[in-house]
A and B are shown apart, each in its own frame.
Chain A
Amino acid sequence: MSLSRRSTLKALAAIGLSGAGTVAWMSSTSADERTRILVSAAQHKRDGDGLGWWDSSTATSRHVLSGFRGHSIIAHPLRAGHAVMMGRRPSMESVEVDLRNSKIVARVQSQAERHFFGHAVFSPDGAKLFTTENNLASGRGMVVVRDADNYQVLDEFESHGIGPHEIRMMPDGRTLIVANGGILTRPESGREKLNLDSMDSSLVLIDTQDGSLTEQHRIPYPKASMRHLAVARDGRVAIGFQLQRAAMDNDSVAPLAGVLTPGRSIRVFHEPVNVLREMRDYVGSVAVNNDAGVAAFTSPRGNLAAFWNIDTGSFSGYHTLFDVSGVTVTDDQQFFVLSNSNGHIRYIDANTLKEDKSRRLHAADVRWDNHLSYI
């Protein structure tokens, strides 16, 4: 609602939709030389759901329609310029997109009696894709292993919990970390939470060789659903929580973030209460800046990103941005990058936590969705 008619028409003309042509920077540079780009599941206000990205060569956003709402996006390790967008819970579909040609090159369906939870990770050698999924018969969480080239299912094992959400690879390249949100949902009841009374969230480390559980961690807040996480290069894991307030018997402010050092228990961040209150029980995404030792936690309900030092556990600062959810870190670790559903992208200096306003980007007709990443 913030554009003039003239600028809107200009923006619409600049935004390419599905099949609208080749992105200039991609066609003119090799995969190795290319600049990494910001991608996100996105809704184009006129055309609908898809994968969106920021095209720095034209300073506009681009969009490939998917036909469903996506969640996280990861770079395909075997095919430069390709990304995999996972379907949002309880989607049974995900897609591989060729950003060079702005088209979907593969549609990946979940197996019978399974649906996706919106997150996935590739193995370090690029051979396998691990996805978090729901076993509809048992309600148990699964990690499904696919061939990264053709998406054929190779194997699957339990996530050792219910409602596995974000999944990442640990620095050893062998161990997965999975946030079991603990909340049971089923496709026939949509996004309705079916087990709030008995929900059991845990953070688990799983050996990819045999699916065995190597560590399982819980926090002393039984109605906190651990859902999103980011792994630092030293193996520490920043975790964001979502409180199920409707299942709680009090309105006390509770922690929404913490850090796990494998082999130890999760350290939660209790302060500052005023900031936690403003985050309104919800963290949407997490990112870690390795050089600064700071983790970012976004809260679209609170319209802010909050930062904690993962070494000391101390609060580092915050940045207010309407409906902010996506967050990632630049390759040089200089900035956190935030995105929101008004199409804004902002760069926050990782050391000062002040915004570099000269870097602001805006895609007026795009709603950047839950997660932002570089590919």
Chain B
Amino acid sequence: MNQRIKLTIITALVAFFISSCGGGSSSSSSGGTREDAVYTASREHVDNQLIPLTDTFVTQATALATAADNFCTTIDETNLGEVQQAWRNLSETWFRLAAYNFGPMDVDLIFPTFSFIDSFRVNGVNYTGTVRNLISNQIAGADTLDSAFFDALPFTNVGLLALEILSFETSDVGHSTVAGNIVSDYQLNARKCEILAGMAAQLIKHATVIQNGWQVDFNSTGTPYRTLFVDRNLDDGADPVATLIVAVQFYIDYLHKRSVVTLTALLSEHNWDNMSRAIDEVEVLLNGTTDTTVSFFSLMESAGFQAEIATVEGNIAAVRAAITAQDNALLEPALIALDGNFKREILQGINVDPGINFTDGD
């Protein structure tokens, strides 16, 4: 018995149990039991996947800082390789976590946390030149490179991009990506290590904001966002399931609209791996984890949306094929098709309403 069939049976049992207990139903014309199962699926996704990702992201940000510290203690190619691998791990986790750009990640619209991690996400602008200028200026400069200095930097100067540039190329005009040259660059420019350490520490701060917001205190409310989400008590009046699904749809839209695979993580040559993790995350959202009892796909299947599931799975397979081929000409239409699935088949399949004004304003 495959995982989907198991989940479909469990989903039916969960629905029956909820119905028998008479609790938790709502006014939806679709019927309360299925609606509660949808909430169960979203809660399980948050608990089994999203929140652990926030922990992993902090852990990996810390690992990068540690690797940077080791490298700067003993500047050699081995330790540089550790820094680079730590960056790759962190970047891959970000491409998973970035699907959930709501709540703690963007509560401040003017200075959203995500922008200090991923400046490209803001408007699809590659700030490599900006970061390179900052690094070369600070290597030659005399500013005190303490936490106050890094706190004051705009989003265009910091985050994963800055750490990638610091880890994967030299600071001279040649911007060599040869490991030996990068090691020499650090040996010649002691302040570059200070910049690396400062940038890594800054990223830990922003990763911790996300983790803390989900698990401890959201936006100084004293309540974790997880609690608000699970209790269906989001301050913006949103349905949490709609928030989750629409956020992932926006993410897929962003991935193709901004040609992310052709414009980011190029120095590290990790662009396609990042894209793999992004599509992995979409699949986990729909299929659940090994701890999942109710997934969105199992809900759709139990409601008779097998054809729609097949359509979505076909488009996910097309995205994967494009990633394997490293072919952006194939990737973009596949992502556009998947984007459309989130606007139609998936919303319909789990009976989530993103709002009449959102979908059809005038």
Q: Is A161 an interface residue (CB 8 A)?
A: no
* Nearest-neighbor residue (CB-CB) of A227 within chain B: B362
* Contacts A/B (CB < 8 Å), 24 sampled: A1-B241, A1-B352, A2-B239, A3-B27, A4-B26, A5-B26, A8-B25, A118-B362, A253-B123, A274-B115, A278-B106, A278-B109, A284-B361, A320-B109, A320-B236, A322-B239, A322-B243, A325-B357, A340-B355, A342-B237, A342-B238, A365-B27, A369-B357, A370-B361
Nearest-Cβ distance from residue A70 to partner chain B, whole angstroms: 11
* Given A251-B257, A342-B238, A342-B239, A369 and B123 contact (CB-CB distance below 8 Å): no
Partner among A8, A251, A274 whose Cβ is within 8 Å of the Cβ of B110: A274
Q: Decide if A364 touches B258 in the complex (CB within 8 Å).
A: no
Could you tell me which B residues sit within 8 Å of A by CB distance?
Answer: 22, 24-29, 32, 35, 38-39, 106, 109-112, 115, 122-124, 232, 234-239, 241-243, 257-258, 352-358, 360-362
Q: Decide if B29 touches A45 in the complex (CB within 8 Å).
A: yes
Q: Decide if A322 touches B236 in the complex (CB within 8 Å).
A: yes
Q: CA–CA, A303 to B124, complex, Å? A: 21
Q: CA–CA, A301 to B246, complex, Å? A: 10
Partner among B26, B35, B109, B356 whose Cβ is within 8 Å of the Cβ of A341: B356
Provide the residues of chain B in CB contact with A227, threshold 8 Å: 362
Beyond known contacts A341-B356, A364-B27: 17 more, CB 8 A cutoff:
A1-B353, A3-B26, A8-B25, A43-B356, A227-B362, A251-B258, A278-B106, A284-B357, A303-B238, A320-B235, A322-B236, A322-B237, A323-B357, A341-B357, A342-B237, A344-B237, A367-B356
Provide the residues of chain A in CB contact with B243, threshold 8 Å: 322
Provide the residues of chain B in CB contact with A282, threshold 8 Å: 361
Q: Is A224 an interface residue (CB 8 A)?
A: no
* Given A11-B27, A275-B110, A369 and B356 contact (CB-CB distance below 8 Å): yes
Q: Decide if B28 touches A325 in the complex (CB within 8 Å).
A: no
Provide the residues of chain A in CB contact with B124, threshold 8 Å: 251
Q: Decide if B27 touches A88 in the complex (CB within 8 Å).
A: no
Q: CA–CA, A326 to B27, complex, Å? A: 23
Partner among B29, B232, B357 whose Cβ is within 8 Å of the Cβ of A300: B357
Provide the residues of chain A in CB contact with B242, threshold 8 Å: 322
Could you tell me which A residues sit within 8 Å of B by CB distance?
Answer: 1-5, 8, 11-12, 43, 45-46, 71, 88-89, 118, 165, 191, 227, 251-253, 272-275, 277-278, 282, 284, 300-301, 303-304, 318, 320-325, 340-342, 344, 346, 364-365, 367, 369-370
Q: CA–CA, A191 to B27, complex, Å? A: 31
Q: Decide if A301 touches B361 in the complex (CB within 8 Å).
A: yes
* Given A321-B237, A365-B27, A370-B362, A274 and B109 contact (CB-CB distance below 8 Å): yes
* Nearest-neighbor residue (CB-CB) of A360 within chain B: B237
* Nearest-neighbor residue (CB-CB) of B356 within chain A: A341
Partner among A46, A71, A322 whose Cβ is within 8 Å of the Cβ of B362: A71
Q: Which of the listed residues A191, A227, A251, A274 has the most CB atoms from chain B within 10 Å of its own CB? A: A274
Q: CA–CA, A342 to B29, complex, Å? A: 14
Nearest-Cβ distance from residue A302 to partner chain B, whole angstroms: 9
Q: CA–CA, A101 to B355, complex, Å? A: 30
* Nearest-neighbor residue (CB-CB) of B22 within chain A: A5
Provide the residues of chain A in CB contact with B353, threshold 8 Å: 1, 341
Provide the residues of chain A in CB contact with B232, threshold 8 Å: 1-2
Q: CA–CA, A71 to B362, complex, Å? A: 8
* Nearest-neighbor residue (CB-CB) of B254 within chain A: A251
* Nearest-neighbor residue (CB-CB) of B259 within chain A: A251
* Nearest-neighbor residue (CB-CB) of A228 within chain B: B362
Provide the residues of chain A in CB contact with B123, threshold 8 Å: 251-253, 273, 277
Partner among B106, B110, B360 whose Cβ is within 8 Å of the Cβ of A272: B110
Q: Decide if A4 touches B24 in the complex (CB within 8 Å).
A: yes
Provide the residues of chain A in CB contact with B122, threshold 8 Å: 273-274, 277
Q: CA–CA, A304 to B237, complex, Å? A: 11
Q: CA–CA, A322 to B239, complex, Å? A: 8
Nearest-Cβ distance from residue A214 to partner chain B, whole angstroms: 27
Q: CA–CA, A298 to B115, complex, Å? A: 23
Q: Decide if B239 touches A340 in the complex (CB within 8 Å).
A: no
Provide the residues of chain B in CB contact with A2, threshold 8 Å: 26, 232, 239
* Nearest-neighbor residue (CB-CB) of A339 within chain B: B357
Q: CA–CA, A92 to B25, complex, Å? A: 39
Provide the residues of chain B in CB contact with A71, threshold 8 Å: 362
Q: Decide if A323 touches B356 in the complex (CB within 8 Å).
A: yes
